[in-house]
A and B are shown apart, each in its own frame.
Chain A
C-alpha cells in the first residue's frame, strides 16, 4: 500500500517499518437502522439526520472523539478532507509534497464547518461527550449505548468478539461519511516500528523488527486480531489460511465482518 509506505519515509529516507494499516470506517447498528427504516449514511447531512432519529429511549446516535488535545485534534484531521477542505495548503490526498507549503487553512469555511459539525453532533451524544476519546467511544458502541461510531478498523474485531461486545451480530461497517458533492476520503492510520537513535542496543532492536515483520510472525499477529500489513488482508496464497484467506478477526463469516471486509477491500482498491 504505497500511501502507508510513504508515512514511513522522511526526505527520501526510510525511517520506520510499517506493520499494521487500518482505516476509519463508520460502524453502525444494523438492528436499529432496520427498525427505524434507515439506510446507513453516506453524507454528513444523512449522518446527522440518522443520529437525530436514533437518539431516543436511552440510545444515543453517535460518540465523537471530542476530548481536548490530541483526540479532538485527530478528529479534525479525519473530517476536514471529507468536508472538502484541507488543513494546510499542500496537505491533500495525492499531494506530491504535503510539507511544501504549510500555510494553515484552519479558518477556511470548510474547517469552520468541520468544527461546527462536531458542535452540532453533541445533541446526539451521551452525557459527558465533551470528554470522550477512542477507548470510551469503542466501549459505548460495544456495550450497545450508541448507534454509530466512526472507528479505526483495528477495533472492528473487538466489536465482533462476544467476549468484548454485546453487538457482535448487530453491526456492520461502511465508508466514512463526507459532505455532499465531496469524494470520500477515508482516514488511513497504522503502526510503524522504528529504532531510537539514542538506543544502546540498536542491533537487537533491528533483529526484533525483522522478526516481528517476518511473514511467519506477522501471520500470528494477524491471527491474534492485529491489523494486517498487506492488502487485502492476508490475500497472499503463501499464507494458506483456512477457508477464506482472511484471518479469523476479518473472516467474512457473519454480516458485520462481511460488510466490513467488503468496504475495507473497496477502500484499498481506491487508496492512492
Chain B
C-alpha cells in the first residue's frame, strides 16, 4: 500500500504530499482494523 502511493508521486499522478497524506490515512485504517495500537 505504501509502495503504491510512493509510486503515484514518482510517476506524477499525485504530489509527494498528497500521496503520503493518503497513504497515512489508508495505512492507519488498515492497522487499526487489524488490532494494532493506532492513536489517530
Is A93 close to B, CB under 8 A?
no
Q: Chain A residues with Cβ under 8 A from B20's Cβ?
A: 106-107, 111-112, 115
Q: Chain B residues with Cβ under 8 A from A104's Cβ?
A: 23-24, 27-28, 31, 38, 40
A68 to B7, Cβ gap below 8 A?
A: yes
Instruction: Report A's interface with B, CB cutoff 8 A.
Output: 66-76, 87, 89, 99-107, 111-113, 115-116, 118-119, 122, 130
Count how many pairs of residues, one from A and one from B, have CB atoms less than 8 Å apart in the complex: 86
Residue of A at shortest CB range from B2?
Answer: A73
Q: Chain B residues with Cβ under 8 A from A101's Cβ?
A: 37-39
A106 to B23, Cβ gap below 8 A?
A: yes
Given A118-B6, A130-B10, 11 new contacts (CB under 8 A): A68-B7, A69-B4, A69-B7, A73-B4, A101-B38, A103-B37, A107-B17, A112-B20, A116-B16, A119-B9, A122-B10
B16 to A69, Cβ gap below 8 A?
A: no
Q: Chain B residues with Cβ under 8 A from A116's Cβ?
A: 9, 16
Q: Which of B1, B6, B37 has its CB near the most chain A CB atoms (within 10 A)? A: B6
Give A101 to B21 CA distance when docked, in angstroms.
19
A118 to B10, Cβ gap below 8 A?
A: yes
Q: Chain A residues with Cβ under 8 A from B4's Cβ?
A: 68-69, 73
Contact (A103, B39) CB under 8 Å given A68-B3, A111-B20, A115-B19: yes
